[in-house]
Structures are given as structure tokens and as C-alpha cells.
Chains A and B, each alone.
Chain A
Amino acid sequence: MEWPDITSILPEVILAVAALLVLLVEPFLKKDKTAVIALALIGLLASAVVAVALGGNSRAAFSGTIVLNSYALFFKVLFALAAFISILMSPRYLEASKRHLGEYYALILLAVIGMDVMAAARDFIAFYVGLELMAMCSYILAGFFRYRIRSNEAALKYFVTGVFASAFTLFGISLVFGFTGTTNYEIISSNLGSTGNATGVAFATALVVAGLGFKVSMAPFHMWTPDVYQGAPTTVAAFFSVGPKAAGFSAILIIFTTVFESSSEFWSVLFMVLSVLTMFVGSVMAIVQSNMKRMLAYSSITHVGYLLAGLAALGRGLDTKAGESIILYLAAYTVMNLGAFGILTYLKTQQPEGFDYSLKSFAGLGRRSPWAAILLTLFLFSLTGIPGTAGFIGKFYLFTSVVRGDLVWLAVLGVLFSAISAYYYLRLMIYMFFREPETELTVKEPIEGTLAAAVALSAAGVLFLGLFPQWIWDHALKAFSNLFG
């Protein structure tokens, strides 16, 4: 018997070891959790470094269930970064909420393994197992504050709807298996077109879209998003809003360009319709939210709508530029959304009892803690898509590729919805800088410790991607060109 190709999954092995070590060390710690936090951070850093070092490889491993190529590695680094920033945010917040358990860090690491497997999988079984690992950790993390009613509600809603969505994905996969007799992406893609059953392939496509659409909170499968974000711990919501979404899109990109290549005309139209619906629902609902956590949830739905427009363009002639711009947008979205949630985490840590994320509680923030206000403004600018920030670069490339895909009307709609989004982002800024608070909230401390590092990292990412987009674009280009390797 020959040894399995461990190198190809080295980043995941490192994460698994780190997660298990966290679980092992945790019981021996009393109040101070520094050791497990350091372990988790080192594990994530090591996995990202190894992923970077493995760059340039391009091979299949484990009987073709998984690949090692720059596409998978790009996402492995992105997921590690997202988890890294989320973990940096967490300690103070969890302490302030009086539920600081080491298991939290282990679960985040395990979720990252699931995401890595999703991005690297080239086989439906490996993909599904990765998806379930990620989902399982998400359900638990959503209900992490189990004494809080909202957290319970979030976990239960997420679990019930999530299992339902998984069943849809599985049904779609089993149909594809029935048509082709295999679960390997490559073999399916060469067989599926020749089965000559367009209805069946379209049905399977729609089922997989529904299942994955739930994970990335695409309308009309978005209902869980605001409730879960509101009820889940803020740091977990930050992680949810970027990690599983990027993982979902990494899997969508690979599955729809290989497995469902033959039905690309069908899913292009499908994503077109869903994109318009998602952008519409996200924007309209975000306007009426007074809870900023819910507003960010709906804004994340709007961003998914933009990404779906890119997918629609990708389906038309499988234009690679669209795929690259989706990858770029995911990277930009990760840093800016994490940053915005980081500031919310800081504010909640300041006022564990008083702060309720309402628009009113942001009044006077510019005077109270100017740094938090300025940084939040930066992230909101980026989410709106103001030039100089990562959000602008992401939208610029994405909408350009949509225009190139001959979907000018969709790009116009996307820009229109971005303009609407400016309303609900700017409104928050107006409250921060130009409104006087009704009750004066006290500031206990400036942003400091690991939380400061998390926010600084996100801000640096937003500015770096915004001012020097060439670097990330090159990497996105390399990643997508190596999709099939």
C-alpha cells in the first residue's frame, strides 16, 4: 500500500491538529484562555503560510477527490485570513458576554477545514462532507450563547433550514449520480452533456443552486440570514458573513463551470433572475432596518446579489474574466465586512448591557470614540464602493465583467442598487457624526488588544486592495486559470 499524498492536504492537517490541541489544552486552563487563542492563531497562520508555500503545485490527490492548485490555495489563504481576523476580535467580546470557552476557537478551526475541503474538492462526496463540516460548526457557533434566547432562536432556525437546504443539494447530487454513475466532477462534466436529458440536468442544476444558494444567502433562500446574524454572537456573525459565503462561491464556481457546464445557458438565466431578486430584497430590506446587525445582514445579501450577476456573466460563454472578478470581489468583501463587524464588536464590548445595535445608539460616536467612528466610516465607504477602497475595486471589476458578458442592463441595475445602498450606509455615518445621543454612553477604553489588531488588519486590507489592486488581481487571475488543474 502506498502512502496517501499528505502534502496536498497539509494546510487542513495543520488546522485539524491545532483544533484538537485546542480541545486538549482547554480543560487545563482556568480563566485565562491566552494559550488556546495563541494555538488557534498559530494554526491558522501556519496553514496560510503552508498554503502560500505550496503555490505552483497543480495535481489531483486522494483518487481525484481533491486537488492541490492555486485556485484551492487562494481560497485556503482567504479562509484562514477570515478566521484569523474573527478570532482576533473574539476574546474581549466573549469575556464581556461572560461566555469565554476554548471550544469556540476549535469550532472555528474545524469550520475552516470544511471550507478548505469545499474549495479543493473535485468530487461531490468530498464537497458534501466539507459542506457539512462547515455547516455543523456554524450551527453550534450560532447557538454559542446558549443562555440567550436570541442565540437559541438563531441556532434552531439555522439548523432546521440548513438541514433542509443540505437535503436539496444531496437530491441534486444524487440525480447527477444517477445520470452519470460517478461523483467525480471531471468525469461528470464529460458525461452529463451526452445523456441528452436537458430537463433532468436542469432540474439537478436548480436543486444544487437552491442548496448552495441557502449557504450564501441568496434570495429567496435568505430568510434565515438576518435572524441568525442578529442572534449569533457578533464575532460569529462576522465570520458567517464572509467565510461560508466565500466557501459557497468557491464551490459554486467550480461546480457550475465543470459539472453543469452543459447547462450553462440555463443556469446563467437562473442566476440573472436570482441576482436581480437578491439585490432587490437586500437593498429594500436594509433600508428599513433600525438594528445595524440586521442592516449588515441585508447588506451582505445585496453583495451576494452583485456576485450572482458575475455568475450570470460567467455562464454566458464561460467568460473567465467574470470568474476572476468574483474571486477578487470575495477577497475585498471579506476584509471590509469583517472590519465593519469588528467595530460593532468593539461597541458591544464597551457596553455589554446598554448597546443594542440600534441606529440611535450610534449617535455621537464620532465624538465619543473617534477612531471607531472613522474606521467604521472607512468600512462603510468600502461597502458602498467609494474609489480608493477595496469595495470600489471589487465592484469595478465585477460590473465590468458583467458588461463584457453582454448584460449591460444587469450591470446598470447593480450600480443602481449600489446607489441605493449608499443611503443606508451613509445614514449610519450621519448618525455617528451629526446626531447628538439621547443618553450619554461612556467610553471605557480605546480600541486595544487583539480587537485593535483585527480592525487594523481589516482596514489595511481595505486600503491595500483599494490602492494597489494589481497584486490581488494577478492572484485571482492565476487562481481562476488553474481552476481545473
Chain B
Amino acid sequence: MAEKILFIIFGVLAIGGALMTITRKNVIHGLIALVFTFINVAMIYLVTQAYFLAVAQILVYAGAILVLFTFVIMFLDLREFREMEQFYPWQKYLVAILAPIALAEFIAVVVTASWIPTQQGITPEMLAEIGGNTWGVGVSLFENMLLPFEVASLILVAAMVGAVIMARKETTPNVALRAWAPADGPQPGQLEQEV
């Protein structure tokens, strides 16, 4: 019972944080709200006995990635973002109709569902039996889920290559940023042409 109450509290806080993240016009405020969301999600992991995942969540997401985010955003000058208009004003009316339907459907699912893992529950005894939390994560990661784990490394390679392609400065000396050597790239007039 206590777990359920804690789950509801942390869940509500996490959703609140997520809403804050996407509604703040100031990007830094949004980021702080995102940290808040991540920490609450980590708390939900704790409630479900996934200690290792909770610590990893705080270290990796709330820690490393968010710090990186903050740095990048502080380097950028994002003042004009605040003055941007919404493209399709009618969209919000559509959302106002569709979102409650989706919510109602979701509530119907949650109320009527029989969740097998939650019914059985993961107890500390079960964890002790498989040799502890970290051990369990390790076994499932490197034995049962070995292939997806390896494919994930290829995703990182692809993302890295992509980041290099998108961000590499392709200039010859004495040429301004975001320009290209006369013979190597499209001319400024070509920018808006069909590709």
C-alpha cells in the first residue's frame, strides 16, 4: 500500500515536471524541470526495487547528460525563441478534443488491466535469489539481451558519425564560419534550390 501511495506521488511529480519542461519559455527553467522529472522517475525505479537502474538514472541522465545540455544551451543565444509565434493556432483545439479521449482510454486500460508483474511483485527476496540487483541487470543485459546490447553500440556509432557530419566545419583557411571553399560547396544562391 505504501508503495502505491509513493508511486502515485512520484508519478504525479514526474508528470508535473514533464509538463513544466515543455511549457517553460525559458529554456534553462525547462531544463531544471527536466532534472526534476528524471529524479522522480529514479524514485519510481527505487519503489519498484530497481536500485541499480535508479542510481544509473540519476548519475547518467540527471547528472551527465543534463550538465551537457545546460552547457550547450548556455553557449547558444536563444533569445529569439521566446518571441516565436505558434504555427498552427487551431492545433490546440484539436488537442483539447483528442487528449481527453486518449486519457479516458488510458484510464480505462489502467483500471481494468491485470498487470502480471505488479500482481506478483518483485520482492527483495526474489532479488536475493538471483544474486542481487546489479547481478540481475548484468545477466539480463549481457546474456539474454546480448544482441540488442550490441546493436545499441551501432546506434551510438551512427549517432556519432551523424554528429560529425552535421557539425564539422568544412572550410579552407580564411573563410568565414558556415561557408565552404568556392569549388567544394553549393553557392549561396543555390541554398534554396531543390536537392
Contacts and interface: CB of A to CB of B under 8 A. Distances in A.
Interface of A: 4, 9, 16, 19-20, 23, 61-63, 65-66, 97-99, 101, 103, 106-107, 110-111, 113-114, 117, 123, 125-126, 128-130, 132-133, 136-137, 139-140, 143-151, 175, 177-181, 191, 195-197, 199-200, 203, 230-234, 291, 293, 348, 353, 355-357
Nearest to A15: B154
Contacts of A137: 158, 162
Contacts of A16: 154
Given A137-B158, A195-B114, A97 B186 contact: yes
Contacts of A355: 194
A62 B194 contact: no
A132 B155 contact: yes
A125 B116 contact: no
A123 to B, nearest CB: 8
B130 interface: no
A187 to B, nearest CB: 11
Contacts of A9: 147
Contacts of A19: 157
B164 interface: yes
B91 interface: no
Contacts of B154: 16, 110, 113-114, 133
Interface string B31-69: 000000000000000000000000000000000000000
B109 A175 contact: yes
B117 A178 contact: yes
Interface string B140-170: 0001111110011011011101101110000
B: contact size bracket: 35 or more
**Which 7 interchain pairs have the tightest Cβ spacing?**
A140-B162, A62-B147, A129-B148, A181-B116, A63-B144, A200-B109, A129-B151
Contacts of A139: 162
Identify whether the interface residues of A are mostly helix, strand, loop, or mixed: helix
A179 B114 CA distance: 6
A148 B161 contact: no
A158 to B, nearest CB: 12
25 contacts: A4-B146, A63-B143, A63-B146, A98-B185, A110-B154, A110-B158, A140-B165, A140-B166, A143-B166, A146-B166, A148-B191, A150-B193, A178-B113, A178-B116, A178-B117, A179-B113, A195-B114, A195-B116, A197-B112, A199-B109, A200-B112, A203-B106, A232-B195, A233-B195, A234-B195
